[in-house]
Amino acid sequence: MTMTTPLAQAATTAAATANTGATAWAARIEHVSKSFPGPAGQQLVLDDISLDIAPGEFITLLGASGCGKSTLLNLVAGLDRPTAGSVTTDGRPALMFQEHALFPWLTAGRNIELALRLRGVPRGRRRERAEELLELVRLKGVHGKRVHELSGGMRQRVALARALAQDSRLLLMDEPFAALDAITRDVLHDELTRVWAETGVSVLFVTHNVREAVRLAQRVVLLSSRPGRIARQWTVGIPQPRRIEDAAVAKLSAEITEELRGEIRRHGRH
Amino acid sequence: MAATDTAPRADDGDLAGLEAGLDALEASPTVRTPLRRLLTDKMLPPVLALTLVLAVWQALVSFRMVDDPARLPAPADVWYVLHDAWLQGTLLGYIWTSVSRGLLGFLLALALGTPLGLLVARVRFLRAAVRPVLSGLQSLPSVAWVPPAVIWLGLNNRMMYAVVLLGAVPSIANGLVSGIDQVPPLYLRAGRTLGATGLKGTWHITLPAALPGYVAGLKQGWAFSWRSLMAAEIIASSPDLGIGLGQLLEYGRNASDMAMVFEAIVLVLTVGVAIDLLVFSPLERRVLRSRGLLVKG
């Protein structure tokens, strides 16, 4: 079912679920290309990307700057349309940014309740569900706190709870821990692994940190730069819970880093 | 699913403790300024400044630097005039006449300026066409509208409201437009991924995000309403209109009663500042503080 014209995501989604009930993938990216107008005509940013994300799968998308990781994520999120190929998702994916993107005019709990409200959860259920989600990210008791009263790590956990409030089968994360200090980031890796295991959500996680990619993922996808193509994929067999300093994590990270450096070197040769 | 083999419980308790420790270390508690410091830091300086102004004023009279009560009355004389008006029961009447006009005019300006601002911010053609007009109107002193308003509408309350509207609507509309322009694009993106598009997006994301700019516009709108009203009252004083503060000033001038003129000036100033301090500044502080945008000095 290769489509050369992008369809409205909602329509595609409805069709996918209506025909088959539950799909065998959380997202299907088929021969996706994307170009933007540049100084020298159309600049190709993504070139023929095909990737299936299985239900419950954790994929990290790795690449150097300018490989179009974020562009690809925006396409999957439905915030932008591919130039060619198609993206099909099972429902609207949830999206987490590098900035927490919580709304400062609402309390932490109300941020989550807004997500529930926009999804059509009735008023009576929202408060209870928001408390459950806060408990899931271990922030019981911060429902009434303002965003600016929370620490960086707490904000990202509230943002995670808000993303989970959408009850999507797919969670997209755009370098969500890049702005955090190393200790907090480490803790949030553990936290995300735990939440992922508890909820069974599929995750597509963009990062430029190789160790982070190996620490978290079942599958690491390396993108080449300009244009972004899938260069190589690794299945990570190391059992969870992993630590970022584990020898097995370090070994695979070294291998992937070598590959990534090779990709980057290619660009300096011309 | 491969996820089932994750996270044994012992490790989990450890993580919870680590996280609790990080949260405790990083969260910054909000401390309220003690009342005493609030008094010395915020109240004392303006009180001192006011006392200084009164002292200079009194000195000018006492040391006969301006030796003519028809030019500069003593502060005490102004106080007697105010006191008399209070005893006669007319003082509150003057104030209420003007304040009720000012507030009603402001509410009308609010009802017109808000949808106008929203339209100008949202409709590209209107933005290009109307935004410069709004900015231009803001720099036009609203007293300029009094003569045409008198000719079009006559000497009546309608004319006063027209002048107030022409003064305040541009401020309120402009405030909302800049508020909307300054909404961080990240909020709009986050809103869209949550499903807040179209009207839902405007209601749940754009408007609350634009609130600080809007409130700043309201504050300025009130200042413009009050100034425009005073201009209208001074020029269009007629016995049928009742005596507001502007008319009081004009009566004082006609009677060459400088104490009455100063009485009116003091009242205009006091009421304008009082409403800002009692209504608009607390509103603005509340909005900014709840978002963590108010940096304590």
Asked if ipTM goes beyond 0.85, one says: no
pLDDT tens for chain B, 297 residues: list them.
444 444 444 456 677 788 788 777 776 666 677 788 878 888 888 899 999 999 998 888 888 877 777 788 888 888 998 999 888 888 898 899 999 999 999 999 999 999 999 999 988 899 999 989 988 888 888 888 888 998 999 888 889 999 999 999 999 999 999 999 999 999 998 998 898 888 888 899 999 999 999 999 999 999 999 999 998 998 887 777 788 898 889 888 888 888 899 999 999 999 999 999 999 999 999 998 888 887 654
Looking at residue B235, its pLDDT comes to: 86
Contact predicate B85/B245, CB 8 Å: no
Ranges under pLDDT 70 in chain A: 1-22, 269-270
| Best of A89, A138, A244 to mutate (most B CBs within 10 Å, chain B) | A138
| Predicted local confidence at residue B30, as pLDDT | 61
Residue B141, C-beta contacts closer than 8 angstroms, at least 6 positions apart: B231
Beta carbons of A152 and B26 less than 8 Å apart: yes
Domains parsed from chain A with CATH numbers: 32-93+168-270 (3.40.50.300), 102-167 (no CATH)
CATH (residue range B70-289): 1.10.3720.10
Q: Specify the pLDDT at position A10.
A: 40
Contact A103 B190 (CB under 8 A): yes
CA of B65 vs chain A CAs: smallest distance (Å): 56
Put simply, whether B43 touches A (Cβ < 8 Å) is no
d(CA B257, CA B250): 10
Say what the pLDDT of residue A102 is: 93
Q: How many CB pairs under 8 A join A and B?
A: 115
pLDDT at A1: 37
For testing contact with chain B, the best of A148, A169, A180, A199 (most B CBs within 10 A): A148
Beta-bridged to residue A185, according to DSSP, are none
Residues B97, B44: Cα–Cα separation, whole Å: 32
DSSP code per residue over A126-191:
HHHHHHHHHHHTT-TT-TT-BGGGS-HHHHHHHHHHHHHHT--SEEEEESTTTTS-HHHHHHHHHH
How many CB atoms sit inside 10 A of residue A183's CB? 13
Q: How far apart are CA A210 and CA A60, in angstroms?
A: 9
CA distance A183 to A152: 12
